[in-house]
Structure 1
Amino acid sequence: MNELTVLPVPPGAAALNVLPQLASILDGAAPAALPVPAFDQRETRRLTDALRPGDPIDDGIALVVATSGTTGVPKGAMLTAAALRASGEATHARLGGPGSWLLALPAHHIAGMQVLLRSVLAGTEPVVIDVTEGFDPAALPSAVEAMTSRRRYTSLVPTQLVKALDHPGAVAALACLDGVLLGGAATPASVLQRAQDSGITVVRTYGMSETCGGCVYDGVPLDGARVRIERDGRVLLGGPMLASGYRGIPDHLAFAEPGWFRTDDAGSLTDGILSITGRLDEAISTGGLTVVPQVVEAALNEHPAVRECAVFGLPDERLGRRVTAAVVAEPGTLPTLDELRQFVERTLDATAAPRELHLVDALPLRGPGKVDHRALESRFG
């Protein structure tokens, strides 16, 4: 049994420095590694506190990739080299063959890490756009021009595509690529239509850290991937790219059935095509990341002007879902959205801060004192 090590991933072009270690990881010649953002000490501390590098880990584990949640305690999906290889090879097979990749995502998350891993498998060096200070679509034309392989790909989240569609040079650059993988959140139909009308080859992906990233492309499972729908509509995923469980949580219900991962998504299969209809839990997928409402509510409840609150998601063309708060204010107070956003950002990631505020006289309830989040979504959505 070996020990989990830390893999600091630098920002920008310096991320390429980790390629030799990733090659060793894929070959099974390096110890298990936990990718962390070298530029973000607070996030690094959050991940290391939860996932305990230095402690023993099962032999065969190559990477421990944190789930994308920006609030609460992260879980670490334990991925083997075989799972990572299966994912990368199936991706290239579906897209039409190996090629060069453009990295425009944080590389310590699974989607960005997969861009680096696929590049290693393809024997190519990725081109990198620095997104440390945010995604700038103006950087796309020169980045795409620097890609020299016959086939060229990138991976984006919907918020990046929305920005790119407002920049003519970025649109032209993306239209030159053989595939733009789009995942991490639901994409509004209007955005997809605009992209397709602009000649961009969008490939909608579905998956998560627990499946080495996307394992269903445009509703069709990759080679080897399996999809099953339970009676309650829950989506289950299986196949060679499946994680070996969560770090330190051997009995987690998500992996209770050998060979399958129980998602929190509801969906349907029609003629072998998977459609995702929504979340079975109350988590909000916003901008490709996940916000847990209860954690944001706990933060808001510390504000002196907040008597009661509920946090929920509403459809958003740019983010997929936007974090929204309904607040019952203390008498004589009138908290503003900016005030509450700044307050939340003192303790949580900015992604968790509400982007919309509704002051209400009372919160709708269902059962004995339980807030009815769906009623709020219906009322304000």
Structure 2
Amino acid sequence: MALLRAVPPEGQSARDVLRALRRAIDGPGPAVLLGSTEPVDVPAGTAAVVTTSGSTGVPKSVVLSRNALLASAFATSARVGEGAWLLAVQPSYVAGLQVLVRSLMSGREPAVLEGRFTAQSFASAARLMASSVGGERVPTYTSLVPAQFIRLIEAADDAEVLWALRSFQAFLIGGQALPEPVRVRAAELGVHVVRTYGSTETSGGCVYDGVPLDGVRMRIERGEVQLTGPVLAEGYLGEPERTDAVFVRDAEGTRWYRTGDAGEITDGVLRVTGRIDNVIISGGVNVSLDRVERVVRALPGLVDAVVVGVADERWGQASVVVLPARADDRAADPGILDAVRSAVARELGAPARPTRILRVDDLPALPSGKPDRVALRRLAAEGADRGA
């Protein structure tokens, strides 16, 4: 097998990554190494290697070919349209990487929101993007994680932020489920949200609003969501056994990616119900923490809540609701725990009820913007030890 080198960009900025990516996709390379600093040998045809710990804390280096990245970018364009893109997430995260690929494909330089993400900095970046060709306004797009989008919706009383929200042709929101109250509020404001589903192993989101992009297929095998198509990664660098366990072939030789998510497909539309492994056994009953979190986040003031599992002397395992200090004032109501427990019991049964609420100054987050659930479980366990 022919090999080439993958090296980190000559700098840490988004522009550095963009230059390196342009050489990898349009030129002779080398491949771009993101999330690691030591050059490595990779299969010919590789455009990028994305190293991430993900939500489990276990590092993995995903090998993405030029063809897979471009297939994803072209399929996205076919679904949502072409235009200018704003990079507002880390370029080392696959959603950020794809913003750069789509920009290269369209021949337009991406706008870049650098520094701390705030509603005001986002609005300023949106203003600078406004442009037209032949008298027609160029459509604008961006990809955000839910935590970023929630901040924008919460700040929509600001006229400038509201203008920015409405100025985008579409917001691609992925990484985790978007709370239903936020989706409803966005629709009321006239903001177009596209909920994306995928991972680094699928070159980013490949199922939009439950419907796969062109060329992508999905199936449910033993309750697990599996995906196939030209967007699939080559596998994990230097880990053939892990690659073979996650990327499997069916009887016809088709290669499928095992997502590790539970879900169901109804009339061609996918609904993801949670991580297969994000389950606790409370009082002898299996409890999906993703489902508990969905119920909790639908309550007033708890849109930022994260639910994690901890050991429990009485139940074996139990769930804990973690809230950031910036949560809505309604989250400080002394009766909020009772409200949470009642809502969860109604939807999921008594064994799923959280035992307590833990308030933290800031929610630990991964570079992708997702909650760092490993760190949150540790905080929840430490809080239990202190009797918090």
TM-score by length of 1: 0.71
Q: What is the match of residue 369 of structure 1?
A: none
Contact 2:10 2:16 in 1 (8 A): no
Instruction: Kindly indicate whether residue 84 of structure 2 is the aligned counterpart of residue 100 of structure 1.
Output: yes
Instruction: Kindly indicate whether residue 246 of structure 2 is the aligned counterpart of residue 254 of structure 1.
Output: yes
Q: CA deviation digits over 1:341-363, x for unaligned, max 9?
A: 99xx9xxx9764336566389xx
Contact 2:86 2:141 in 1 (8 A): yes
Query: Which of residues 259, 267, 270 is equivalent to 2:266?
Result: 270
SS at match of 2:240: coil
CA shift in 2, pair 1:193/1:256, >3 Å: same
Alpha-carbon distance in structure 1 between the residues aligned to 2:99 and 2:51: 16
Q: What is the match of residue 244 of structure 1?
A: 234
Q: 152-161 vs 249-258, which deviates more? A: 249-258
Superposed CA RMSD in Å reads: 3.2
TM-score by length of 2: 0.70
CA shift in 2, pair 1:93/1:113, >3 Å: same
Amino acid corresponding to residue 241 of structure 2 in structure 1: D
SS at match of 1:89: helix
Query: Which of residues 134, 148, 151 is equivalent to 2:139?
Result: 151
Contact 2:21 2:47 in 1 (8 A): no
Q: What is the match of residue 162 of structure 1?
A: 150
CA shift in 2, pair 1:259/1:67, >3 Å: farther
Alpha-carbon distance in structure 1 between the residues aligned to 2:105 and 2:23: 11
Contact 1:64 1:76 in 2 (8 A): yes
Alpha-carbon distance in structure 2 between the residues aligned to 1:18 and 1:157: 20
Amino acid corresponding to residue 34 of structure 2 in structure 1: P
Contact 1:66 1:209 in 2 (8 A): no
Query: Which of residues 117, 138, 142 is equivalent to 2:101?
Result: 117
Structure 1 runs not aligned, ≥5 long: 37-46, 284-292, 294-311, 329-335, 362-381
SS at match of 1:79: strand
**Per-residue deviation, 1:141:** 1.8
CA shift in 2, pair 1:103/1:200, >3 Å: same
Instruction: Kindly indicate whether residue 349 of structure 2 is the aligned counterpart of residue 353 of structure 1.
Output: no
Alpha-carbon distance in structure 2 between the residues aligned to 1:254 and 1:27: 30
Q: What is the match of residue 33 of structure 2?
A: 34
Contact 1:158 1:319 in 2 (8 A): no
Instruction: Kindly indicate whether residue 75 of structure 2 is the aligned counterpart of residue 90 of structure 1.
Output: yes
Q: What is the match of residue 285 of structure 2?
A: none
Alpha-carbon distance in structure 2 between the residues aligned to 1:197 and 1:242: 36
Q: 245-254 vs 79-88, which deviates more? A: 245-254
Identity %, equivalent residues: 42
Q: CA deviation digits over 1:78-124, x for unaligned, max 9?
A: 1110111110011011012x211111111111011111111111111
Contact 1:238 1:260 in 2 (8 A): yes
Instruction: Kindly indicate whether residue 32 of structure 2 is the aligned counterpart of residue 5 of structure 1.
Output: no
SS at match of 2:241: coil
Q: What is the match of residue 199 of structure 2?
A: 208
CA shift in 2, pair 1:273/1:351, >3 Å: closer
Amino acid corresponding to residue 228 of structure 2 in structure 1: G
CA shift in 2, pair 1:194/1:356, >3 Å: farther
Structure 2 runs not aligned, ≥5 long: 133-137, 281-288, 298-302, 314-356
Alpha-carbon distance in structure 1 between the residues aligned to 2:141 and 2:362: 36
CA shift in 2, pair 1:239/1:319, >3 Å: farther
Instruction: Kindly indicate whether residue 268 of structure 2 is the aligned counterpart of residue 281 of structure 1.
Output: no
Q: What is the match of residue 58 of structure 1?
A: 43
Alpha-carbon distance in structure 1 between the residues aligned to 2:10 and 2:199: 21
